[in-house]
Structure 1
């Protein structure tokens, strides 16, 4: 049996390639969005501050007052027991960047005013989680350069998830994924 001898340089290059592969695979599997049920959006999510696929006013970004935009929705299924609201940026250089996590919102709630206070106990007995800035509550678009897309997503669940305040997006969605019965989405853009 012949043993293949590799030079130290080839071994180093193979090790680097292996580490890059592991890092890319880990990044790809860290976002729970791909694991969620593929439901046709039925909840109509909208904002009085901007229309779908248009520019988000700077008031709701890091260049302005950095406050959450007003949001409203309809068509929540009657069997829904709670709602989740997530805002994120899939165009961020390091992967999806989370701007807002709000969960266990009452299904009777059909709107949120602009400027929701960034505290763990949110409106209508909801709970707020941590965004990618490491803070509780909403932090607005703040792209390093270019135009990014910002998705506001709503999920109706057949139960409350009842996890501690300050949870991150992936923990919230992992707890919710088997209980999502309806979804909705609003996408806005912001450029710097």
Structure 2
């Protein structure tokens, strides 16, 4: 039996013990404390990982025409495996942050814009899935990165997945 402490995992110091996503990470925050990408940390990246990719989705998003179709809030690719997380407010500032973060690329969310976009919901209680993929190869997706293109490109290259759930 593997020790849970050794598991590949993703956490956010901003998400409280009840698993709630605080308002400043949503479109319902106040003023500048609004739509900020949440801080994330990860541990025990699998051996042989060349790059990490992150997909954040509302897995309870209702389609206007019926079925529940996950709604993508954030896609991030080319995260170096040596870094241990993304700081709060990282989205849109990768170049400013620079250094080891410089090569990270943000893809388009389901609003068709790059970067993090927090939820604004008619009803609360939706589950947000932060899924981090450890990949054995760089992801080359051209200029327009989307969740679908990413998931297609990484097929057969996933060494591990880490999952964090939050509620909004």
Answering whether residue 68 of structure 2 is matched by residue 103 of structure 1, we say no
Rounded to whole Å, the distance in 1 between the matches of 2:50 and 2:130 is: 20
Q: Which runs of 5+ in 1 are unaligned?
A: 1-41
Answering whether residue 16 of structure 2 is matched by residue 47 of structure 1, we say no
Answering whether residue 71 of structure 2 is matched by residue 93 of structure 1, we say no
CA RMSD of aligned residues (A): 2.0
Alignment partner for residue 143 of structure 1, among 118, 121, 132? 121
Q: 1:117: how far off?
A: 3.1
Q: Which runs of 4+ in 1 moved over 6 A?
A: 119-122
Alignment partner for residue 66 of structure 1, among 18, 35, 55? 35
Task: Trace 1:163-174 onto structure 2 (pairs within 5 A).
Answer: 163-174=141-152
Q: 1:181: how far off?
A: 0.4
Provide the secondary structure at the position in 1 that maps to 2:55.
strand
Normalising by structure 2, we get a TM-score of: 0.83
Answer yes or no: is the 8 Å Cα contact 2:130–2:165 preserved in 1. Answer: yes
* 1:16-74, Cα deviation, whole Å (9 max, x unpaired): xxxxxxxxxxxxxxxxxxxxxxxxxx311001101465111000001111011000001
Answer yes or no: is the 8 Å Cα contact 2:35–2:117 preserved in 1. Answer: yes
Answering whether residue 22 of structure 2 is matched by residue 57 of structure 1, we say yes
Count residues with an aligned counterpart: 150
Alignment partner for residue 153 of structure 1, among 123, 128, 131? 131
Rounded to whole Å, the distance in 2 between the matches of 1:177 and 1:62 is: 33
Rounded to whole Å, the distance in 1 between the matches of 2:81 and 2:43 is: 10
Q: Which runs of 5+ in 2 are unaligned?
A: 1-6, 64-68
